[in-house]
């Protein structure tokens, strides 16, 4: 038995949706009730770093394992298992076709992952996390897989992860096949198409959310009447306007749809029974701050959006940095926004560019 340890590492970026995914039509295959669209943020700021290793010398009794941010993490869940199974099946096919290849598909996997930003706090850790997990193992197994194919696999781990395999502006097409083979992401535009775009991340709380995205959206699908309206008309309209706004680099439209869609998503959370509240008083203060900034500028220069957590992401254009970042800092002075990196000013992380 060889002691050789095979190893591959990769990083993956966070993406923050401007038209939100919220709702599953098939929880087992992780298929969404609606298409969604996001912006991939620079890995220089927020990223997951994952190393996958395997060896015939790893005891089979230990099985596969994941160390997440230094702590053992449960990977027995059906969604992580689906990712591992898909990747192993592809590796096994390569091994069957070429008997000189080591049988990596049969070795236990050790995964070590670290997020350099809060985990499970509404800053898309599951997106960066599963994108990195899938790509690290695909690299380890030397799979000839395209980003689209990896996107299809990552989707089964966490829906939003399918969008983190691409940079720039990314759509997740919901697809209509029952087996989910057409439900994956594609790039709508490269980051360089709109080089002025920036994101400001306001970390209101780094604490783990009370209701996970997975369980929150299932409760919404089961109980909210407003949600039916959202997926039937609101999201399809938002997707169409958003794709046009990005193609035309129309910030006013981009901003309006971003804010409306975030509001619509949080309204369906409030309409869930019992209701789910992801935003808090500081989140609402951030919304008011954006309104003040836009009023002062006399045009829309900033757009807020909130995922399933209280933390705000503000999209703006580089040319408006002073009006947005400067004013934001002043308006929110005194608000308890905490921070998660000492380099930040009160949790404000200015000027994150986009990832190609
Ligand atoms: P978030 O808003 O951060 O995406 P979610 O509730 O959607 O929060 O998902 C959080 C879960 O995603 C974590 O509890 C963990 O199971 C998984 N996750 C986060 N980071 C990673 C990672 N780096 N590798 C593997 N899984 C991860
Ligand atoms: C509000 O992708 O975390 O961030 O598929 O159950 O893992 P699972 O959910 P997840 O949900 C993300 C919800 C959102 C909106 C979005 O990213 O589109
Ligand atoms: Co998530």
The residue to which tokens 């400067």 are assigned: 326
Residue 345 has pLDDT above 50, yes or no: no
Quote the CA–CA distance of 220 and 214 in Å, as a whole number: 10
Whole-number Å distance, alpha carbon 92 to ligand 2 midpoint, is 31
Nearest residue (by CA) to ligand 2, atom 12, is 160
User: Is ipTM over 0.90?
Assistant: yes
Angle (CA) 160 161 166, round 5°: 105
> Which ligand does the CA of 18 lie closest to?
2
User: Whole-model pTM?
Assistant: 0.95
Quote the CA–CA distance of 354 and 234 in Å, as a whole number: 27
As for ligand 1, residues whose beta carbon falls within 6 Å of it are 48, 68, 113, 115, 119-127, 129, 133, 158, 212-213, 307-309
User: Residue 355: its pLDDT value, please?
Assistant: 61
* Beta-carbon neighbours within 5 Å of ion ligand 3: 126, 213
What the block records as the tokens of 315 is: 């999209």
Query: pLDDT tens across 138-195, in order?
Result: 999 999 999 999 999 999 999 999 999 999 999 999 999 999 999 999 999 999 999 9
Packing angle of the helix pair 147-157, 78-97 (nearest 10 deg): 140
Q: Which residues contact 32 (CB under 8 A, 6 or more apart)?
A: 21, 23, 24, 25, 159, 172, 174, 183
Quote the CA–CA distance of 296 and 291 in Å, as a whole number: 9
Q: Which residues contact 342 (CB under 8 A, 6 or more apart)?
A: none
């Amino acid at each position: 038995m060889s002691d050789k340890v095979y190893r591959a590492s990769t990083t993956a970026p966070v993406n923050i949706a401007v038209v939100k995914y919220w709702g599953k039509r098939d929880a087992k295959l992780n298929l969404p009730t609606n298409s969604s669209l996001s912006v991939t943020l620079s890995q220089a700021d927020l990223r997951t770093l994952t190393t996958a290793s395997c060896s015939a010398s790893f005891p089979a009794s230990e099985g596969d394992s994941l160390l997440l941010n230094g702590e053992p993490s449960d990977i027995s869940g059906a969604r992580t298992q689906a990712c591992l199974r898909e990747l192993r099946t592809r590796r096994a096919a390569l091994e069957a076709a070429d008997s000189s290849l080591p049988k990596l598909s049969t070795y236990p996997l050790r995964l070590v992952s670290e997020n350099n930003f809060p985990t499970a706090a509404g800053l898309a850790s599951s997106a960066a996390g599963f994108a990195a997990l899938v790509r690290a193992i695909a690299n380890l197994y030397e799979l000839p897989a395209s980003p689209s194919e990896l996107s299809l696999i990552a989707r089964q781990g966490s829906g939003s992860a399918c969008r983190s395999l691409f940079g720039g502006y990314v759509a997740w097409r919901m697809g209509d096949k029952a087996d989910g083979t057409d439900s994956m992401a594609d790039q709508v535009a490269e980051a360089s198409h709109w080089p002025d775009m920036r994101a400001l991340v306001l970390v209101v709380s780094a604490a783990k959310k009370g209701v996970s995205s997975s369980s929150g959206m299932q409760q919404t699908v089961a109980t909210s009447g407003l949600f039916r309206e959202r997926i039937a008309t609101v999201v399809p309209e938002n997707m169409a306007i958003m794709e046009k706004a990005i193609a035309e680099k129309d910030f006013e439209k981009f901003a309006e749809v971003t804010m409306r869609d975030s509001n619509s998503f949080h309204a369906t959370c409030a309409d869930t029974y019992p209701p789910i509240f992801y935003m808090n008083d500081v989140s609402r203060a951030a919304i008011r701050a954006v309104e003040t900034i836009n009023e002062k500028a006399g045009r829309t220069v900033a757009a807020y959006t909130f995922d399933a957590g209280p933390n705000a992401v503000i999209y703006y254009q580089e040319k408006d940095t002073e009006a947005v970042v400067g004013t934001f800092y002043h308006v929110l002075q005194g608000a308890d926004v905490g921070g998660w990196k000492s380099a930040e000013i009160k949790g404000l992380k200015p000027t994150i560019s986009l990832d190609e």
